[in-house]
Amino acid sequence: MFVRLEKFDHVEGQHRYCCVSLSQTLLGEWCVELTTGPLGDAGGTTRRSYFTSYAEALTLAEASRARQIKRGFVPIPVQLGLL
């Protein structure tokens, strides 16, 4: 699961992004990664949480996505380029 969210606030001049991803590690654990930062500028943060069960990880990923949408972020469709 991978969701990219963006927020444009033209009044304050803030353009931010947030990515929520859910993946399985090589050891079989589930990792929820939340990356946030300003669009077009250096900086940002990445937080990772590890879980033994898929259900717990999915619950956190969905809660993070819902929390960001409440804060004004909008889901953006992401296209993966062919290499």
Output the average pLDDT for the chain.
Answer: 88
Residues of the chain with pLDDT > 90, as a percent, come to 58
Ramachandran angles phi, psi of 19, nearest 5°: -120, 130
pLDDT exceeds cutoff 50 at 73: yes
Q: What is the rounded CA–CA span in Å between residue 56 and residue 65?
A: 14
3 in Cβ contact with 20 (< 8 Å): yes
pLDDT of residue 83: 47
Residue 15 sits at the vertex; the CA angle it makes with 43 and 59, to the nearest 5 degrees, is 80
Distance CA 80, CA 83 (A): 9
Percent of the chain past pLDDT 70, that is, above it, reads 93
Please state the pTM of the whole predicted model. Answer: 0.79
> Residue 75 — very low, low, confident or very high, per pLDDT cuts 50/70/90?
confident
CB pairs under 8 A, 24+ apart, for 48-51? 50/25
